[in-house]
Amino acid sequence: MRSPMRSRDPNATDRRRAGAIAALAGLLLPLAALRAAALPEPAVALGLGRYYTAPKGGLSGADVVPPAAAYRSGAALGRAAPTNQWYSSVMFGRWSYPIMAHPMSYRTSEAGFELGLPAKRFAVIAGTERRELAYPHVAAVTIAPLGFRPRDSRLSGFSDWLAEISLAAGDGKTLKATVLHGSPFAYFECSSGDVRFHLAERPVVLADPTAKGLDPRVASFTVAGRSYAIFAPQGARWDWSRPTDLVLRLPGDRRYFSVAGLPDASAATRADFLAVAYAFPTETRVAWRYDEQAHVVRTTFRVSTVAREGGNRTTFMGLYPHQWSSVVPARQARYRYESVRGQIRLIAANSFVTERAFHGLLPSWAGLENPGSRVALASLLRQDLADADRLVPADGRGTYWFGKSLGALAQLLAVAETEGETAMRDRLLQLLQDRLESWFDGRHAGYFVADARLGTFVAIPQEYNSILAMNDHHFHYGYWLQAAAQVALRDPAWAAADHWGGMVGRLAADIANDDRGRRDVPFLRNFDAYEGHSWASGIAQLEDGNNQESSSEAVNAWSGLALWGAATGNRRLRDLGVYLYTTEVASAEQYWFDPDRQVLAPEFGKPFASMVFGGKYAYGTWWTDEPRQVLGINVLPITPASTYLGANPAYLRALVGALPDETRAYRDRGRSDGTAPDIWQDVIACYLALADADAGLARWDRQGSVEAGETRSHTLYWLSSLAEMGRPDFSVTADTAFYAVFKDQSAARTYLAYNPGSAPLRVSFSTGKVIEVAPRSLARGR
């Protein structure tokens, strides 16, 4: 899920929540209510801040607690619950929702463990503008133990992109399945008794293990046009007397088998799969390294296996498109699967490495040089400063809406500083600190709770099920990290761990902890390391799998994490942010925008997907199908980290160019539902300016509506800066994390570099340009 937002324009339409988790959390209070409550125990001091180990009580939300991940067992019990993952629904109900692993899908049910190879299905939702292209879960094969009846399914183990799911009877008898991203295999162990495989329809038999002369370990068949194979151990026996039911009798000392979805029905393919069928995965692990000198992020994916039969330990790994385009060295695909993420290409390996260029981040750009632009901006800055105290919307009281106001203040602060408005900067800095501290001190109605049962750090009051369903933490806290980083770059003492930095660190750890095995927070809560992007729903109880709408708000979180790490001298955190930012950007470009059309099917009929689920992608939002908001939710917030959106100027122009006709058609069909005529016009203008600054300036109405995370000053500054510097130039790299390069129509380049450290920094660009940057300063070169 993701958080709806509302334009500050008084005529803007309410943004409505939809989907499987529909209950809005709490009542909406004005900002004054945030300063109402006393400070009871149990409170835990952290530097100058405080958090709680249980809700305070009263209206602020004592009845709102994180969901109980009751369906865990074994090794999964000793660690924080891995919410917001593709398999998280296993932990929150007796039986799971669909588990989209790609190319396979799975589900646990009373009937057993379901698996299948999903097939494409397209739909236009009646009465809406929404288009959906789905690969829904299919129960082609349902696997069940015959020696006992499982009472539920539980997450019994997990690693970076692997889930171990146990169907247990309660007396120690279990059917255990191990599934993982990118693998066509599911691996099983059954503690006792026989195993039944129920087929969804009468199959086409490809290999009958009971037939003379065939391998007695392999049963293979085609169901609904997709082929499958079961690989049993030596000594196993079969009963296939009923066409749609196979019974496997496992030997007492070999209680394992694997099942694979096959790319085709050939005997040669079955032989290839048989060769790796007994290499059972035990752990998956991702490792990343940001090489500052080479300006690349290298990511290693490794699967550990054990040979359950024979000596082979090599497995098949399926690479997603964003991995295939960056794998080094280039690989040859053994097999390919069509999926909701495009082609999944198989290689026979236990590891691979991807390498992506990192194009830099900045906390701000340089001051404007055009005198007329500076005068116009100075006037708007004075107006926005006068309104700064009212940036928090009256209808928003949780960490999302409050966070958006923090983000707007942070960008306004940066603009004031670059324009030499030091008094204004100091006032905004103090206001930003006060706003952050009003939550961090634990003395008001807005505060934080560390929940030890689930392993999370939540904010009360919740917004949009951020507690009840663990939704959207990275969307919310990303704005806070951006704001805290802007403060830390100017006031390092404020950000010290013994002051307010400890509280910021808890927010960062909740969404992006890189330590495995902790009890207080899971490893990379929101981020799917293998699929390469974040997930928003904490409990993932959705028929189409987990989901993420706003890829750009996820990118905002990871850029904030990198800036916070740099501002506090924490290189490990900085590099984690760089890895997450670089990977999320690559996935957003591939799976949301897809300019090279490797993923979005022709029948989808839309130029991008605004919502990505485990089993589908869609054009629409949780609250509206209005075209400007459908695009804008994957653009905002506008910050210096947004330049990645300008990587394909022609594609960008086409998206924005289509909006007038799409908006007109939307209104003509009676679908306007009160939406402001110029809703998010500032966001769209800033987006367009990445391809054409003059067109962006022309599109923007400085008297028009202002998106809730924006200010008029920041919009004018952004548009004017790009008019002076030109478009982002991604052909140039540098040997620092904090840089950007722009090129104007005359091919003149502007080089920007920021030094967050305390010593002078010499930055070398790949063009040969060198810039000397003073400590905690931004430098510009031509």
Told to judge if 549 belongs to the known catalytic residues of this protein, a careful annotator would answer yes
Told to judge if 603 belongs to the known catalytic residues of this protein, a careful annotator would answer no
β strands within 610-748, DSSP E: 611-613, 616-619, 727-728, 739-743
Helical residues (DSSP H) of 241-303, grouped into ranges: 267-276
Please tell me which residue in 472, 510, 626, 729 is annotated as part of the active site: 472
β strands within 400-540, DSSP E: 447-451, 456-460, 527-528, 533-534
Amino acid at 140: A
Helical residues (DSSP H) of 388-421, grouped into ranges: 399-418
Backbone conformation region of residue 161, classed left if phi is above 0, alpha if psi is from -120 to 50, else beta: alpha
Torsion of CA 715, 713, 699, 12, to 10 degrees: 90
Give the separation between CA 397 and CA 597, rounded to whole angstroms.
40
Contacts of 538 (CB under 8 A, 6+ apart): 67, 83, 84, 88, 465, 469, 470, 471, 473
Helical residues (DSSP H) of 83-175, grouped into ranges: none
Facing residues of 345 across strands?
A: 319, 336
- How far is the CA of 97 from the CAs of 166, 287, 540, in angstroms? 15, 29, 8
Order the strands of the 49-52 sheet from edge to edge: 43-46, 49-52, 447-451, 456-460
Please tell me which residue in 160, 189, 419, 549 is annotated as part of the active site: 549
Told to judge if 553 belongs to the known catalytic residues of this protein, a careful annotator would answer yes
Say if CB 584 and CB 656 are below 8 A apart.
no
Give the separation between CA 602 and CA 377, rounded to whole angstroms.
44
Query: Two tokens at 13?
Result: 């339409």
Please tell me which residue in 553, 662, 678, 682 is annotated as part of the active site: 553
Select from 750, 725, 738 the least CA-distant residue to 775: 738
Give the separation between CA 205 and CA 267, rounded to whole angstroms.
12
Give the separation between CA 782 and CA 771, rounded to whole angstroms.
10
Residue positions annotated with a catalytic role = 472, 549, 553
